[in-house]
Amino acid sequence: MRWSVLTDNLDILLQGLLVTLQVSVLAWLLAVAIGVVVALLRVTRSRAARFLGTAYVEFVRNVPLLVLIFFLFFALPDIGITLSGFWAGVIGLGVYTGAFIGEVLRSGILGVPRGQLEAALSSGLTYLQAMRLVILPQAIRTTIPPLGNQTINLIKNSSLTAAVSVFDILGTANLIGSRTFAFTPVYIGAAMLYLVLTIPAAIGVNAVERRLRIGYR
């Protein structure tokens, strides 16, 4: 085995790591934004809003992520929207993970005692203020561990963008592999690079969880 392929191609592998990081961060921001909206839709009293939120979650969760990404990349040009592989990947991942984060946040919100909302509303806050200032901060505390899992899943799932010719970690590994046929070192190297991202993410989640617990019963 020629392990030197890794050192020889270190520059493009690190470039791939950076791309994976970029896709993941952007997709994560989109996913959290979608997740908050979906969660709020699913806990409001409006039947129409709940239906919309539920429909989104059930549709997106039950379609393979790769199909979403391919749709964005290959099908949207039919209606005049052309996305690069990078952005198809970011949006696909964000839309997909948003459904899962929405579910996590929803259960977090439902886990906050009902009296918290009543206290906030009875003090004159609007529903949105009550959510933002009282309910969501508490919901997020209990959902840090599952949110961390979703984040790590998102990082791993970002490898699917390689299928729409994004040179992230996996895309770069595919490229080096097909040029050198040194598949064993290349994919072991790729796995290591994913661990470089996911293990610190897991450690970070634990640290955040501990910090938020301080001063909290």
What is the contact surface with other proteins in residues (CB under 8 A)? 113, 115-116, 118-126, 129, 133-134, 137-138, 141, 215-217
CB of residue 40 vs other proteins: minimum separation in angstroms? 18
**Smallest separation (angstroms) from other proteins to the CB of 119:** 4
Cβ proximity to other proteins: between 188 and 212 the closer is: 212
Q: How far is the CB of 142 from other proteins (least distance, A)?
A: 11
By beta-carbon proximity to other proteins, the closer residue of 72 and 134 is 134
Measure Cα distances from 25 to 20, 22, 50, 94, 190 in Å: 9, 5, 28, 10, 19
Closer of 67 and 119 to other proteins (Cβ): 119
Q: Are 85 and 23 in contact (CB under 8 A)?
A: no
In whole angstroms, how close is the CB of 179 to other proteins at the nearest point?
53
CA–CA distance, 54 with 48 (Å, rounded to integer): 10
End-to-end alpha carbon distance in the chain: 55
Q: Is residue 192 within 8 Å of 10, Cβ to Cβ?
A: no
Q: Which is nearer to other proteins, 125 or 201 (CB)?
A: 125
- Is 52 buried (19+), middle (13-18) or exposed (0-12) by CB count in 10 A? middle
CB of residue 125 vs other proteins: minimum separation in angstroms? 6
For residue 102 the two structure tokens come to 């929405």
Of 95 and 120, which CB lies nearer to other proteins in the complex structure? 120
* Structure tokens that stand for 80 in this block: 């005049």
